Structure 1
């Protein structure tokens, strides 16, 4: 079987397991009540800050920022779920298998992306009108595309981080929380990116979400999508692809080192 076909088959099989895991973690009821209910309260909490400030612009800014962050936040769960192969004792078997390791991990956490896009879409279009955040049909379509771009871009970054955490699994939650906090602080979720010094603004550009969020903010309340908005979404995907390439290289290095030294345990 040609290698590209074999690689796609591995990704497809890993994705099948990923969605089976998702169905085990969430039932329709627990996702709608337990997960969706919680994050709606989170978004409304920040929107209420805008109400207290009596600034309509603050309500809009905080609401959209928090809603879009839900997509990135859920996609970043890939940092933790990448460790599930080690926890289940299958990492060593995958490492000695006559196939590349990275396609397994690329497919292993795909379940978080559609869930993240769905979560943010429900909040943006279901809760938004209650706060005066209106969407035209073209803007709504563009926003969903933007959420998908945020999910794809953030997934590449999450896998890169996960490729390091795979070596120190007991740090997975700490690292994931730090990365999520960095997204909140630096990507324009609660304060404009321009609030930070120029050096910090420059560092923030490596986060795919910063560009996707800017694009979604730009289309809200409009009837058309500008070239600049399309460029922002393209940049979001390009940066995410760069992170994904780095993640693939790191996963391969991890596998080669483990095969050479026998240092991957079966616990």
Structure 2
């Protein structure tokens, strides 16, 4: 290879500029999707009402001892709901006609999508924290400075891990963007059922329990409940790390999935507009 044809620093793909610009797009989307009024009096009120609804079911069914269990589970579930919106927002690129440009860029397609929808992690984390700290004490959850600090970390880990699940699903339906909302809704409703949000994981048959172990929410929720119950720090940390590792596995699947989308799109010419 001659000096004139050898790649140099100016032509090699740079990950940091990509991540920076992609994050800027996410923040720009956030500013368009919400104003402080629509988030505070629209989305936040809606999510808090959902947490209250599922928690008060325990009181209506004379299962008052489960109120703390339910408020923690449903408050954390809020960030998972928002994180799975990455399925829909990733599909927007095809409907907007920008996917061919992303595929043509001199970098892996997946990294664009990794940062493209980070606004859901931010809003999901904020909504869950408000639910935990505002509604938790109403149903018997007592926070200390230490437990509240641990809760902040665990909520963020949950949002990131579930976001990685959503990315993998987004890659799966990239060629069928019309399925985006169906897949997103089925994903978060499935997590709400099997991950210990409404009932303990061991309530389900063994195959369902094994499925739950593959989802970050299961482990982070167990860690959060451990924080509230005063479990040993080592046990809480182990659960949190297991959730993070599980999320990393989903991220790896997302990278592979978007790589497949790019290769097939180049080969077949199917990276134009979609529905």
Report the TM-score, using the length of structure 2 for normalisation: 0.92
Question: Which is worse superposed, 45-54 or 148-157?
Answer: 45-54
Q: Give the Å deviation of 1:43.
A: 0.6
Q: Which residue of structure 2 lines up, in the alignment, with residue 263 of structure 1?
A: 270
Distance in 1 separating the partners of 2:243 and 2:169? 17
1:232 to 2:257 alignment: no
Contact 1:17 1:108 in 2 (8 A): yes
Contact 2:13 2:107 in 1 (8 A): no
SS in 2 for 1:83: helix
Distance in 1 separating the partners of 2:221 and 2:206? 19
Q: Give the Å deviation of 1:9.
A: 1.5
Q: How many residues align?
A: 266
Q: Give the Å deviation of 1:131.
A: 2.3
Q: Which residue of structure 2 lines up, in the alignment, with residue 117 of structure 1?
A: 125
1:215-254 alignment, distance < 5 Å: 215-222=223-230, 226-254=233-261
1:108 to 2:108 alignment: no
What do you get for the CA RMSD once the two structures are aligned? 1.7
Change (3 A) 1:118 1:7: same
Contact 2:125 2:159 in 1 (8 A): yes
Contact 2:84 2:163 in 1 (8 A): yes
Distance in 2 separating the partners of 1:33 and 1:262? 44
SS in 1 for 2:57: helix
Contact 2:13 2:106 in 1 (8 A): no
Q: Select which of 190, 193, 197 maps to 1:189.
A: 197
Q: Which residue of structure 2 lines up, in the alignment, with residue 134 of structure 1?
A: 142
Distance in 1 separating the partners of 2:129 and 2:232? 18
Q: Select which of 188, 199, 218 maps to 1:180.
A: 188
Q: Which residue of structure 1 lines up, in the alignment, with residue 166 of structure 2?
A: 158
Contact 1:82 1:109 in 2 (8 A): yes
Ranges in structure 1 where 5+ consecutive residues have no aligned partner? none
Contact 1:139 1:225 in 2 (8 A): no
Report the TM-score, using the length of structure 1 for normalisation: 0.95
Q: Which has the larger radius of gyration?
A: 2
Q: Select which of 37, 49, 55 maps to 2:45.
A: 37
SS in 1 for 2:14: helix
Question: Which is worse superposed, 5-14 or 164-173?
Answer: 5-14
Distance in 1 separating the partners of 2:166 and 2:232? 28
Runs of 4+ in 1 over 3 A off after TM superposition: 1-5, 53-56
Residues 44-86 of structure 1: per-residue CA shift (max 9 Å, x gap): 1111112223444311111111000001111111111101111
Residues 133-171 of structure 1: per-residue CA shift (max 9 Å, x gap): 211111111111111111111111110000011110011
Question: Which is worse superposed, 94-103 or 159-168?
Answer: 94-103
Question: Which is worse superposed, 197-206 or 224-233?
Answer: 224-233
